[in-house]
């Protein structure tokens, strides 16, 4: 009887632990994602991080206001171009 109870308890714990892992895998099949779009999304996130870093550098006094404005304009223009590329890739499917 104790063995049966331990086996049931072990099965419940295993189910509880693996359920989120299996659900996450079922929700997002990564192998069907377009690699071009994935690469563009990574570039977009990198560019957003560069914009935030420039803002932090300005606040910390590492960049003058003029340097920040120049760098911010360049980074945002690059981000806009990446967003356009993502849009084109999603419309064409590649």
CA distances from 4 to 10, 14, 15, 41 (A): 10, 15, 16, 50
**Does 25 have pLDDT greater than 70?**
no
Q: Is the pLDDT of residue 94 over 60?
A: no
- pLDDT at position 54, please? 96
Q: Quick one: three-class SS letters along 2-38?
A: HHHHHHHHHHHHHHHHHHHHHHHHHHCCHHHCCHHHH
% of the chain residues with pLDDT over 70: 89
Q: What is the mean pLDDT of the chain?
A: 87
pLDDT for the residue 93: 74
| DSSP code, position 70 | H
Per the structure, how many domains does the chain have? 1
| pLDDT in the model for residue 59 | 95
Range of the domain at 70: 2-92
Tokens linked to 38:
């994935």
Give the residue with greater pLDDT, 35 vs 25: 35
Average pLDDT over residues 61-74: 95
């Amino acid at each position: 009887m104790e063995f049966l109870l331990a086996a049931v308890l072990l099965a419940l714990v295993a189910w509880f632990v693996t359920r989120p892992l299996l659900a996450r895998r079922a929700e997002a099949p990564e192998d069907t994602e377009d690699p071009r779009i994935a690469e563009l999304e990574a570039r977009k996130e990198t560019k957003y991080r560069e914009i935030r870093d420039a803002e932090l550098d300005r606040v910390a006094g590492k960049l003058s206001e003029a340097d920040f404005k120049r760098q911010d304009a360049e980074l945002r223009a690059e981000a806009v171009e990446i967003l356009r590329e993502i849009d084109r890739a999603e419309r064409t499917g590649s």
